[in-house]
């Protein structure tokens, strides 16, 4: 029953979030601030992780493809498919859930325990719309760009790993990347990313908004937000894969 209560409160929260902003000038200012906080400040970790994950995938594939009857271009093909279908949209979304989710939950939770949200509501401001909607739009706008960058850097990381280790030739890797390219896989990854971005923005916001207590409870809410966001992403990934690729 406790889980049902939380799910109900979550959807009631969303109903308040998606109301018309009261002041568009303030909303636009908040939106650009969230794009910087949630998007641009996540760029570094996405670049670093995706590049090295691509390199690791390519090296592991090369080490396992030691049969002379298996062509070497399989390494590039497998790295491309792995990064586009799974590692970029899902793995990077879980990374963002940890980094961004804890930030959203703790920032809103701190506003709740210091009664700043109460002050907004006393002034007649829809606090959920004011605080959460810019985060959702910023995530939906910027995260697909981050995931596209992660795909490119992951594939490039695999290429660079081949140059450094000498396990495979660049020509074979590039041929594997070009082999049997299906544009639908990019669309599939972006659809997943948009859904995951919505989850990353809303579930931590829910945990932060309804926190009760002091700073200790804010820390616990941030931890719960990251855990539940990751769980929901993994479950959604399973169902979306069945629906979109099945």
Quote the pTM value: 0.90
Q: Would you say residue 2 lies in a domain?
A: no
Q: Would you say residue 146 lies in a domain?
A: yes
Q: Would you say residue 130 lies in a domain?
A: yes
Whole-number pLDDT of residue 1: 58
Q: Would you say residue 5 lies in a domain?
A: no
pLDDT in tens, 24-72: 888 888 899 999 988 888 899 999 999 999 999 999 888 887 777 778 8
Q: Which of 91, 102, 96 is nearest to 223 (CA)?
A: 102
Whole-number pLDDT of residue 207: 93
Q: Would you say residue 96 lies in a domain?
A: yes
**Domain span holding position 183:** 23-241
Burial of 76 (0-12, 13-18, 19+ CB in 10 A): buried
Whole-number pLDDT of residue 52: 93
Determine what percent of the chain is predicted with pLDDT higher than 70.
99
Q: Would you say residue 180 lies in a domain?
A: yes
Q: Would you say residue 15 lies in a domain?
A: no
Count how many domains the chain has.
1
pLDDT in tens, 111-142: 999 888 888 888 888 888 899 999 999 999 99
Q: Would you say residue 119 lies in a domain?
A: yes
Whole-number pLDDT of residue 3: 80
């Amino acid at each position: 029953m406790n889980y049902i209560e939380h799910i109900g409160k979550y959807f009631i929260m969303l109903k308040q979030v998606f109301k018309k902003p009261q002041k568009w000038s303030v909303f636009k200012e908040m939106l650009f601030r969230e794009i910087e906080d949630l998007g641009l400040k996540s760029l570094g970790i996405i670049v670093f992780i995706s590049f090295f994950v691509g390199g690791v995938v390519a090296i592991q594939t090369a080490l396992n493809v030691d049969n002379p009857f298996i062509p070497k271009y399989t390494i590039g093909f497998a790295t491309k498919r792995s990064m586009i279908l799974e590692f970029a949209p899902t793995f990077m979304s879980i990374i963002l859930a940890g980094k961004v989710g804890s930030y959203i939950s703790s920032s809103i939770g701190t506003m709740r325990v210091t009664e700043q949200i109460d002050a907004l509501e006393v002034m007649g401001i829809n606090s959920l719309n004011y605080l959460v909607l810019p985060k959702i739009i910023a995530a939906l706008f910027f995260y697909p760009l981050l995931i596209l960058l992660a795909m490119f850097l992951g594939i490039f990381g695999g290429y660079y790993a081949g140059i450094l280790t000498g396990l495979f030739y660049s020509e074979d890797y590039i041929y594997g990347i070009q082999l049997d390219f299906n544009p639908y896989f990019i669309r599939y990854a972006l659809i997943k990313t948009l859904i995951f971005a919505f989850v990353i923005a809303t579930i931590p916001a829910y945990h932060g908004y309804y926190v009760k207590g002091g700073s200790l409870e804010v820390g616990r809410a941030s931890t719960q937000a990251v855990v539940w966001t990751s769980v929901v992403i993994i479950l959604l990934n399973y169902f979306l894969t069945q629906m979109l690729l099945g």
